[in-house]
Amino acid sequence: MISVFFAVSQELACLKSQVNIVKKIRYAHAVFYQAEFHGFPITLVQSGIGKNVSDVIHHLSKCFRIQLMVSSGFAGSVNPGVGVGDLVIGKHVLHSSQETWGEAITVDATLSCDTSFAELAVALSSADNLRSHCGDILSVDKIVRKSSIKKCIGSQTSAIAVDMESFAIGERATAMGIPFVVVRAISDGADEDLEIYEDMVTAGGDVNIPGTMSYLLKKPHRIPYLNRLRKQTRSATNTLSVFFPNFITQIYNSLLI
Spatial distance between the Cα atoms of 257 and 239, rounded to a whole number of angstroms: 27
pLDDT recorded at residue 67: 92
pLDDT at position 169 over 90: yes
Residue 72: phi and psi, rounded to 5, are -135, -175
- 2-255 in CATH: which number? 3.40.50.1580
64 vs 180: which has the higher pLDDT:
180
**What mean pLDDT, rounded, does the chain reach?**
87
- Calculate mean pLDDT across residues 171-181: 94
| pLDDT band (50, 70, 90) for residue 42 | very high
Spatial distance between the Cα atoms of 240 and 73, rounded to a whole number of angstroms: 8
- Calculate mean pLDDT across residues 229-240: 91
| pLDDT band (50, 70, 90) for residue 207 | low
User: Where along the chain do its domains lie?
Assistant: 2-255
pLDDT at position 119 over 80: yes
Spatial distance between the Cα atoms of 240 and 242, rounded to a whole number of angstroms: 5
Q: Chain centroid to CA 160: how far? A: 14
For residues 137 and 161, is the Cβ–Cβ distance under 8 A? yes
- Calculate mean pLDDT across residues 59-86: 93
120 vs 61: which has the higher pLDDT:
120
- Calculate mean pLDDT across residues 200-215: 57
Spatial distance between the Cα atoms of 240 and 44, rounded to a whole number of angstroms: 14
pLDDT at position 55 over 90: no
257 vs 83: which has the higher pLDDT:
83
Residues 6+ apart with CB under 8 A from 46: 6, 7, 8, 9, 12, 30, 31, 33, 204, 205
186 vs 57: which has the higher pLDDT:
186
